[in-house]
Each structure stands twice: as structure tokens, then as C-alpha cells.
Amino acid sequence: MERRTFLQTTLAAGGIAAIPTLTNAQDATTGPVREFFELRTYLLKPGKQPLLDAYLRDALIPALNRSGIKQVGVFTETPAPETPAVYLLIAYHSLDQMTAAAASLETDAVYLKAAAEYLAIPATDAVYDRIESSLLHAFETMPTLESPDKRGRLFNLRIYESHNEAASKKKIEMFNKGEIAIFRRTGLTPVLFGEAILGTRIPNLTYLLAFDDDTARTEAWNKFRVDPEWLKLKSIPEYEDKRIVSKITNKLLKPTDYSQI
């Protein structure tokens, strides 16, 4: 069974709506193609980040770039948590591109040589406990990743979980019908908005914002909270947080020196 067919079958078996075949072209009837985002979290063993950094910087990211993927972000939490973690963000134009990129690693001699030390690590000296991974589908009103300029050196990763699928869809609707536009106007610069279609803690939506620094982040959130359009939007009964959001995860991230986002 082909990789993409297997993924589509897996999604259907899990009760997830079928995802249409996507290409790099723009569809005249549906608008710009909505990208897919893979968000990996490497839960590291103590002292192993340098080895993971070397693998990502010198082996994986160059290989992904060779396969046509140009924007790969790598981030760490700030302040550093007790259990260190590295976040890897990959933007794909389609599921076909995602599966092709994964397959290309198996035959990429340059990658295999650069990754040799990392791939040969024994179980007794593991780099990480596990990798947690989510596959996100971009929102209709923000169909592609928007990489910030180099001023954006602080990122805010937020995950909104809902008690069921309908509630999650309603929160996504709220973002599409006005909240993202308010974000932009108040200085909450979006990088991506995506609905989780595979991963943990589903149903959820995930978004990433960029700021110059923590002062800019605080000022933007304060401006957003008192914005008249936001106050009007959140007062609509069907959009009340208690009805559609059950948990919010909030993390501050900084890019590594080799991150492409």
C-alpha cells in the first residue's frame, strides 16, 4: 500500500474527515491550497541537545530542503523547563510532499552519511525519551505559514483543546470569522493556525505567534484583550470559552541559531 493511501485510510478509520488531494497549484474555486504542518516535540534525555542539534542542523534540515521543503523551524522553550524539549516545525504544501520527503530520506546518501552518528546511537544512550508529533491542517483564512522577518525572535505556541469535535470546529469558526483579523490588528503576528488531524489531545487547534521580544508580546496581548471588536466577538453566546475550549496550553519559544523560521 502506498504511503499516502495508508495515511488517508488511517484518517478515515479514526473518524477523521477525508482530506482532498492537494498540489502546489492554486484551485480557482477553493482558493489557495491549505498547507499541512508537522509539529514534533523531542523530549530529550539530559545533556543530549547538542547531538540532536547536530542531526537537525547538518542532516535532516538540509535533506528536507533538497526535497523542496524550504521552511523548517526549530525552537526551544524559554525559560528552559526541567525536562528539556526541542520543537521541530515543518510546513508541507500537500500530503504527497510530506510522504515523498519521508521516503527520500531512505535513499539520500548525503543525509545518511550526515546522520550516521545519530542513527547509530544505542538504546542505552538514547537522545530522547520519545517524539510527540501532531499533523495540522491550515485554517481557511490563513492557508499557509507566514514566516516572520528576523525581528521575530520570540514565539508563542498555544494549543486549544475542546471537549468534542463540534466545539473545536466552533472555535475554529470564531478564528476564521474575525479573531485572526483582530490578532493582526493588535500586534499578535500569526505564523500559522492549524487544526490537529493526527496527534495527541485531539480535538485541538494549534497556533504560533511571533514577537520582537517579551515586552512586545505583553503589550500586544493587553491591547487585544480590550479591543472593542474582540469584546463584541467573545460576547456572542456560541463563542463563550466555557462552551468551546476546555484547556489552553501556552508556551514561549525561541528559535535555534539554525532555525529557518
Question: Greatest CA separation found in the chain?
Answer: 57
Residue 25 lies in a domain: no
What is d(CA 190, CA 208) in angstroms, rounded to the nearest whole number? Answer: 6
Compute the mean pLDDT over every residue in the chain, rounded to the nearest whole number. 90
- Residue 3 maps to a domain: no
CA nearest to 184, candidates 154, 229, 140: 229
Q: Is the dihedral of CA 213, 215, 217, 220 positive or negative?
A: negative
Which residues make beta-bridge pairs with 131?
A: 42
pLDDT band at 82 (very low <50, low <70, confident <90, very high): confident
- Confidence check: pLDDT of 23 > 90: no
Tens of pLDDT, residues 124-163: 999 999 999 999 999 999 999 999 987 668 999 999 999 9
Residue 20 lies in a domain: no
Q: Kindly state the average pLDDT of the residues 200-213.
A: 96
Does residue 261 form part of some domain?
no
pLDDT the model gives residue 165: 97
Name 73's Cβ contacts closer than 8 Å, sequence gap at least 6.
87, 88, 89, 90, 255, 259, 260, 261
Round to whole Å and give the CA distance between 258 and 260.
6
> What is the end-to-end Cα distance of the chain in Å, rounded?
34
- Which pLDDT score is estimated for 30? 56
Look at the chain and report how many structural domains it folds into: 1
What's the confidence (pLDDT) of residue 189? 96
Give the pLDDT confidence of 87-127 residue by residue, as tens digits: 999 999 999 999 999 999 999 999 999 999 999 999 999 99
127: in domain: yes
Residue 21, C-alpha cell as written in the block: 488531494
Strand partners, 138: 194
Report CA dihedral (54, 146, 176, 168) to the nearest 10 degrees.
0
The predicted pLDDT at position 219 comes to 98
Name the least confident of 3-7, 185-189, 226-230. 3-7
State percent of the chain over pLDDT 90.
Answer: 83
Position 235 pLDDT exceeds 90: yes
| Domain presence at residue 238 | yes
pLDDT at 63 over 50: yes
Which domain, by its residues, includes 43? 34-254
pTM of the model: 0.88
CATH number at residue 191: 3.30.70.100
Q: Name the H helices within the chain.
A: 3-13, 49-55, 61-66, 95-104, 109-114, 116-119, 165-174, 180-186, 214-225, 228-234, 241-244
In a domain, 250, yes or no: yes
- Tens-place pLDDT, residues 222-231: 999 999 999 9
Residue of 251, 133, 140, 141 lying closest to 202 (CA atoms): 133
Asked if the structure places residue 208 within a domain, the reply is yes
Quote the pLDDT of residue 32: 75
pLDDT tens column, 172-186: 999 999 999 999 999
